[in-house]
Structure 1
Amino acid sequence: MSCSFKFNIIFILHILAATPILSSPDNSSFNNFLDSAKTPEVFNWMVSIRRKIHENPELGYQEFETSEVIRSELHKLGIPYKHPVAITGVVAFVGTGFSPFVALRADMDALPMQEMVEWEHKSRVPGKMHACGHDAHVSMLLGAAKILKQHEKKIQGTVVLVFQPAEEGGGGAKKILDQGALENVTAIFGLHIDPELPIGEVASRAGPIMAGSGFFEAKISGKGGHAAIPQQSIDPILAASNVIISLQHIVSHEADPLDSQVVTIAKFQGGSAFNVIPDYVTIGGTFRAFSNQSFNQLRQRIEQVIIGQAAVHRCNATVDFLEDWEPFNPPTVNNEDLHEHFVNVAVNMLGVDKVDSAMTPFMGAEDFSFYQEVIPGYFFMLGVRNASHKQFESVLHSPYLEINEDGLSYGAALHASLAASYLLKHQQDLHGVERKTHDEL
């Protein structure tokens, strides 16, 4: 990902001139959230929670101990919650219990990786690791909960805290929505740590920020036989090789060069001997795009190319897009009004030079996008770069990932401020409208 941290000067002037600074007597306390998050009471507490979760990583829909830690801390804070939601998920709330409702989301699951960093709180579970920072996400959302609870009497509505399972495959966000847990929510915010971004800096943009993604697996069947007599066989390896080459032509020769797309083959399995042509070959991979239209077109062409090219080589092919195992992630698209709100809050808290409001989109995927399909949503990156950062090693989904825990304070404070100031700003929309309790909470 490339982040310049440079504002267009016209945009800066617009923000400073047209967007009010959050300094009125009613919400001045919201500007002190960062100070609150940096106090030993809050910061050390967040660090201890993060390390506890880091030591005991759990995969998607298996986050039972993580969920227990969350519920225990919410109980101590006197924050009501609903559990289970989507198997292991927890949905809590702080505030009046009445509308408007704004949500903050943290994902909980780890990755099936062996941690290679030697430190006191290294994963104790072989083959599992929090290599994407979800342990930090949970800690920061709990930190925001603690801060918001301290200011609950000033909250003009309800903050819904979503501790979500199974972001790393399994569509945990979709399950949260399917269970109706966010029925009355009018906006949702989420963040992700960025180990390449300095502490105290954030990056995001309006519009597409991450790609939609899907997976596919194809079985290409021929007729096996002796490698010395290929004319008596129908070689699926030859067919699969041509399929892979043809798939690359979809992006290079069919897609608009200004519309970024990816088709990658990452799996090729076939044959087990040097002198035997196998009966079939299995290939698989991922495809990604920044719009639903481009994504759906890619899906259609992938299936056509695999079946068509296999037929050219006298083979049969079947294509499985694995939607039962891994639902397609839509593109992550940030709401423009919420972008203005985010920039306003972040600039007030961090300073203009610490906010990149026009970061370069990247082809990674995030199931936060499921929320954005039904609720105005906003997703941003939070700097947690370690002083000993090693390029290409301490990155997301790396067994060498290390983060600077000082970033936890910034994430908690931004979470809390984004939610509290959003509710204050939207309370006026409810004048003359009957208020309802949140049925799901």
Structure 2
Amino acid sequence: MSSVTKEQVWQQGQEILPWLVEVRRDFHQYPEIGFEEFRTQEQIMRYLDEMGIPYTKSAGTGIVGLIQGGRPGATVALRADIDALPITEAEDREYRSKIPGKMHACGHDAHTTCLLGAARILNSYKDELAGCIKLFFQPAEETDGGALPMIKEGVLENPKVEAVFGLHVSSDIPVGQIGVRYGQMNASSDELIITVRGENGHGAYPHSGRDAIVIAAHVITALQTIVSRNVDPRQAAVITLGVIQGGTANNILAQEVKLSGTIRTLDPGVRKLVKERVRELADLSARSLGGTAEVTINEGYTSLINNDNLVDLVKRNGEELLGTQNVRINAMPNMGVEDFAYFAEHVPGAFYHLGVRNEETGCVYPVHHPNFDLDERSLAVGASLQAYNALVYLKENEKR
């Protein structure tokens, strides 16, 4: 059984902090969006080569590293997403993005750095480990989702992964703290597109046509009753229509209006109900006014549901490394989405939030904001905790 202590892991995280800052700032200056992370991939491979950690490519721009312990045992995975967002960075900081229109505004540069730091810590103890650790550097979390392609390529097999841990930065939580959540962590998402069709006519003679704008307005209003009148109020659901496009002139009845938006739910049964009601109400509302509504729903990410036993492990480890007062229990799930959900759907998983907020240095902006930044001391916290999560899991599941 490994004799590595929490003090050793924490100390190593602090010692490599300057390196972590350097690594993160390099990624930050060269952001790449989903499935275009070629430079990012090359840098990750370079760091793994320096550590002597073998790896294979996956899902195009992803990487799977493998730290093989000195004795047989369980297999645990640590996951980080590596892609950036199509956002122009606002702040003129020294490590500002050098790629116009692209920015690590969601902290994936930090996630990648934390995983590299955890790998560096864990690799120094590999001969003492019973089992092995897989390192998932996953592309395209913000776009098409890189988790499913990696799973389909077999990253959870050979050796078979028995548990997976992931983290996400949070500017709502001060640096030095983490937030954990039992059970439902993130919502599912579905893209909604509704094409409403009527009939052209002169704006002065509305009776001569079928006004698609008026029909669309009734469809929009009807859809708002789904959450308020069809979904159990003890459940959560969101229907947001973010785009309305239609009409050609101010004196012509619109023949076609396109609505697009998103559906967010936590429960699979509620997800099914909402999609069914969207189709029914859009169709009935349009037909009642002489028009039609064509509904397209493109399935997005599934709900992220944490394994309570693994959340317990993260909570205990966080309390040991950071202190009980620095581990928060998140009372409510997040209606945002996260494709870590697919890993957690196939094997037990735990996803948690890493605090990066520091009001004194202006690290207060939310993710996806052009001013987003983080207190880089969080990199050592994330690297240490992820390493400790893997060590404790292997120790508690050592195969004798």
Q: Does residue 91 of the first structure (1) align with residue 64 of the second (2)?
A: yes
**3-state SS of 2:302 partner:** coil
1:317: which partner in 2? 293
Match of 2:370 among 399, 404, 423: 399
Q: TM-score, normalised by structure 1?
A: 0.87
Q: Does residue 227 of the first structure (1) align with residue 203 of the second (2)?
A: yes
1:35-434 alignment, distance < 5 Å: 35-39=11-15, 42-83=16-57, 85-96=58-69, 98-183=72-157, 184-323=160-299, 328-388=300-360, 394-427=365-398, 430-431=399-400
In 2, the alpha carbon distance for the partners of 1:121 and 1:359 equals 35
After superposition, what is the alpha-carbon deviation per residue over 1:378-423, rounded to whole angstroms, capped at 9, x for unaligned? 00001011234669x7101111101111100000001100011101
Percent identical: 37
CA shift for structure 1 position 96: 2.5
CA shift for structure 1 position 357: 2.7
**3-state SS of 2:298 partner:** coil
1:22: which partner in 2? none
Which amino acid in 2 is paired with 1:61?
Answer: F
After superposition, what is the alpha-carbon deviation per residue over 1:318-374, rounded to whole angstroms, capped at 9, x for unaligned? 112234xxxx21111110111111111111111110111344222111111111111
After superposition, what is the alpha-carbon deviation per residue over 1:218-249, rounded to whole angstroms, capped at 9, x for unaligned? 11111122211211111111111111111110
In 1, the alpha carbon distance for the partners of 2:86 and 2:225 equals 33
In 1, the alpha carbon distance for the partners of 2:143 and 2:284 equals 30
In 1, the alpha carbon distance for the partners of 2:202 and 2:98 equals 49
Which amino acid in 1 is paired with 2:308?
Answer: E
How many residues matched?
A: 397
Q: TM-score, normalised by structure 2?
A: 0.96
In 2, the alpha carbon distance for the partners of 1:157 and 1:322 equals 40
C-alpha change, 1:390 and 1:250, in structure 2 (3 Å) is farther
Over aligned residues, Cα RMSD in angstroms?
A: 1.6
In 1, the alpha carbon distance for the partners of 2:361 and 2:278 equals 39
In 1, the alpha carbon distance for the partners of 2:290 and 2:306 equals 46
Q: Which runs of 5+ in 1 are unaligned?
A: 1-24, 432-441
In 1, the alpha carbon distance for the partners of 2:35 and 2:283 equals 35
Q: Which runs of 5+ in 2 are unaligned?
A: none
After superposition, what is the alpha-carbon deviation per residue over 1:180-237, rounded to whole angstroms, capped at 9, x for unaligned? 1112100000000001211110111210121111111111111122211211111111
> By percentage of residues, which structure has more strand?
2
- Kept in 2, the 8 Å contact 1:222–1:234? The answer is yes
After superposition, what is the alpha-carbon deviation per residue over 1:254-277, rounded to whole angstroms, capped at 9, x for unaligned? 111111111111111111321122
CA shift for structure 1 position 278: 2.2
In 1, the alpha carbon distance for the partners of 2:215 and 2:42 equals 51
- Kept in 1, the 8 Å contact 2:190–2:262? The answer is yes
After superposition, what is the alpha-carbon deviation per residue over 1:264-322, rounded to whole angstroms, capped at 9, x for unaligned? 11111111321122221100111111111111211111122112211112112211223
Query: Which contiguous aligned blocks of 4+ residues in structure 1 show a shift greater than 6 angstroms?
Result: none
C-alpha change, 1:248 and 1:389, in structure 2 (3 Å) is farther
In 2, the alpha carbon distance for the partners of 1:344 and 1:284 equals 43
In 2, the alpha carbon distance for the partners of 1:195 and 1:207 equals 22
After superposition, what is the alpha-carbon deviation per residue over 1:71-93, rounded to whole angstroms, capped at 9, x for unaligned? 0110111000001x111000001
